Structure 1
Amino acid sequence: MSHQFTGTGVAIITPFFTNGSIDFNSLTNLVDFQINNGINYLVVMGTTGEAATLNKDEKKAVIDHIIKINNKRVPLVIGMGGNNTYEVVEGIKNFHAYKEISGILSVAPYYNKPSQEGLYQHYKMISEASPVPVILYNVPGRTSINISAETTLRLANDFKNIVAIKEASGNMEQIMAIINNKPNDFAVISGDDALTFPMICLGAEGVISVIANAFPKEFSNMVNAALDNKIEDAKTLHFKLFEIIQNLFTEGNPAGIKAILNINNLIENNFRLPMTPVSDKHYAKLEKLVSQVK
């Protein structure tokens, strides 16, 4: 099935200057770099974009800038999640640019630790409020709550505009249970760069990737080969990037990917607290791995 969220989505970073303000020129270059190297869609205002430390005006400025630079070349997905259901719904109702985007990505409510019924009701309200397709985002390592296969399938069957899940649980049995029992028009998307190849082999439709910020062409080629059932080609490409992906998240995300983008002269290596750059030792290790990939 061809889905508008098939292939390689990129969870795009937000570049900053040393003083913490947003570096819009680097953002422009980064968006063009992604699109010119064959990615399929962009995901804006996710964890990788440090959305948690941007205020409302800054989020709007980044979204509007990317809409303008993208100029409808690829679909855009906007991160709209949180742990206050009514506030998330309010944000969805008041979003200003639905004509320019293809969907929203909504992370499971973090910190509160709701029950599976609470998760179902949370996403029910989001589905009913959203005029565009909704992608669920399951990332228990960040939220302390897992959207179970049963809850995912229940949401997929009950709400037509809940069209996909970004699965970053790392639980392959759970992922297989969803793929095995999901409706035909519901997509499973990898939220884990290292597991993207095996997940596509099992029936996932692509990835929302961090590593593709720096290696859009290489990672897209791997994803496309896997989707085309060219398993040996995909496997070779997978292992070419595997070690760098293994070292990407060692000192947090987006610390690793920003270090690599800095090594590749695409951005300055700046963050907003509580995020900080990787250590000098890890930076040197990433530098070595980047030179090996090249």
Structure 2
Amino acid sequence: MYFGRLLTAMITPFTTDGAIDWPRVKDTMEHLIQTGTETLVVAGTTGESPTLSHEEKVELFRFCADEAKGRVKVIAGTGSNNTAASIELTKEAESTGVDGVMVVAPYYNKPSQEGMIQHFKAVAGATNLPVMVYNVPHRTGVNMATETMLRLAHEVENITSIKEASGDLVQAAQLISRKPEDVAVYSGVDELFIPYLSVGADGIVSVASHLLGSEMKEMMNAFFAGDVKKAAEMQQTYNPLMQAMFMTSSPAPLKYAMALKGICEEHVRLPVIPLNDQQKDIVSTLLEELKV
């Protein structure tokens, strides 16, 4: 697998005045690399892509590709609900030195399944980079059908991976059983990490790996070594923290947790807002109880 097994959907640290905090971006990258991340997904939902400008995204892609120095791969989040804009950003991303692009299913305008196929084909056709298709219906308002993902996987040569975040294990299993052998399928749901592996997923694009990178590597290693009981027990142990990262709009809980670890500040951009005191107590208590 070109991108490895543990991929992280990376946050975008901000300063108090809302600008990208470049030293903290570097700190976050170093932390993730040291705790087992093999590929960084930059300017995805966790990176607050809806509030990043086109120019900020390109600058972020270039910065992360330069800082990675070949130690990890970098995937640029270039998808949107505007096909032409997605194509433009994808072309610019290719010039920054990233290793691939992630293209989310178009959100808000609820395209048909054929509309999604044409969207992905148009974006993938505009680049030589590997493309990751991202199905996340609870955010986009539309689920990519299994047949849609299979058509893209079989018909588009540079679609090399799928981030499947529907949470539907039946759909995931059907996709995995019929996909081309050289197309990787990644879980996009932390609390279903081991269940996704159990139906044949290749790895995960994770949010919780900001906090649990080493633990998630251990879970995965246990699973592939045949110690499914240990992997399942670890999944159950860390699920409360994984779920807490989405108690309110992401990535506010994660940024607060990362601030407690001293890696970045908790600043987010509107319409996402910081945690209230009660929410902060939940996150800090879980970190303490789990010794994270």
Cα deviation, residue 93, structure 1 = 2.4
2:194 aligned with 1:197: yes
Distance (whole Å) between structure 2 residues aligned to residue 13 and residue 120 of structure 1 = 29
Cα deviation, residue 134, structure 1 = 0.6
Q: Percentage identity across aligned positions?
A: 37
Root-mean-square deviation over aligned CA pairs:
1.4
Cα deviation, residue 236, structure 1 = 2.6
* Aligned-partner SS, 2:242: helix
Q: Which consecutive residues of structure 1, in runs of 5 or more, have no partner in the other structure?
A: none
The alignment covers a number of residue pairs equal to 291
Distance (whole Å) between structure 1 residues aligned to residue 111 and residue 224 of structure 2 = 35
Report Cα offsets for 1:202-250 as digits up to 9, x if no partner.
1000111001112221122222332343312322321221111121101
What residue in structure 1 maps to residue 220 of structure 2? 223
Distance (whole Å) between structure 2 residues aligned to residue 42 and residue 161 of structure 1 = 19
What residue in structure 1 maps to residue 262 of structure 2? 265
Written as runs of structure 1 = structure 2, the 5 A alignment for 1:79-228 is 79-97=77-95, 100-228=97-225
Cα deviation, residue 96, structure 1 = 5.0
Distance (whole Å) between structure 1 residues aligned to residue 120 and residue 156 of structure 2 = 9
Written as runs of structure 1 = structure 2, the 5 A alignment for 1:28-39 is 28-39=26-37
Report Cα offsets for 1:240-273 as digits up to 9, x if no partner.
2111112110111101111111121211111111
What residue in structure 1 maps to residue 13 of structure 2? 15
Cα deviation, residue 125, structure 1 = 0.8
For residue 187 of structure 2, what is the amino acid of its counterpart?
A: S
Report Cα offsets for 1:99-131 as digits up to 9, x if no partner.
x32211100000111111101111111121121
Report Cα offsets for 1:157-216 as digits up to 9, x if no partner.
111211111011111111111011111111110010011111011100011100111222
Is the CA contact 1:102–1:132 (under 8 Å) kept in the aligned structure 2? Answer: yes
Distance (whole Å) between structure 1 residues aligned to residue 94 and residue 181 of structure 2 = 31
Distance (whole Å) between structure 1 residues aligned to residue 58 and residue 172 of structure 2 = 33
**Runs of 4 or more above 4 Å deviation:** none
* Aligned-partner SS, 2:265: coil
Distance (whole Å) between structure 1 residues aligned to residue 167 and residue 233 of structure 2 = 22
Structure 1 residues 96, 163: closer, same or farther in 2, change over 3 A? closer
For residue 92 of structure 2, what is the amino acid of its counterpart?
A: N
* Aligned-partner SS, 1:214: helix
Report Cα offsets for 1:134-156 as digits up to 9, x if no partner.
11000011100111001001111
What residue in structure 2 maps to residue 46 of structure 1? 44
Is the CA contact 2:169–2:199 (under 8 Å) kept in the aligned structure 1? Answer: no
* Aligned-partner SS, 1:112: coil
Distance (whole Å) between structure 2 residues aligned to residue 250 and residue 287 of structure 1 = 13
Distance (whole Å) between structure 1 residues aligned to residue 32 and residue 92 of structure 2 = 29
Q: Which consecutive residues of structure 2, in runs of 5 or more, have no partner in the other structure?
A: none
Equivalent residue for 1:278, pick from 262, 275, 278:
275
Report Cα offsets for 1:72-105 as digits up to 9, x if no partner.
101111101011112211222233535x322111
Task: Give the TM-score taking structure 2 as reference length.
Answer: 0.96
Written as runs of structure 1 = structure 2, the 5 A alignment for 1:228-243 is 228-243=225-240
* Aligned-partner SS, 2:157: coil
* Aligned-partner SS, 2:46: helix
For residue 67 of structure 1, what is the amino acid of its counterpart?
A: A
What residue in structure 2 maps to residue 59 of structure 1? 57
Distance (whole Å) between structure 1 residues aligned to residue 226 and residue 125 of structure 2 = 37
Cα deviation, residue 16, structure 1 = 1.0
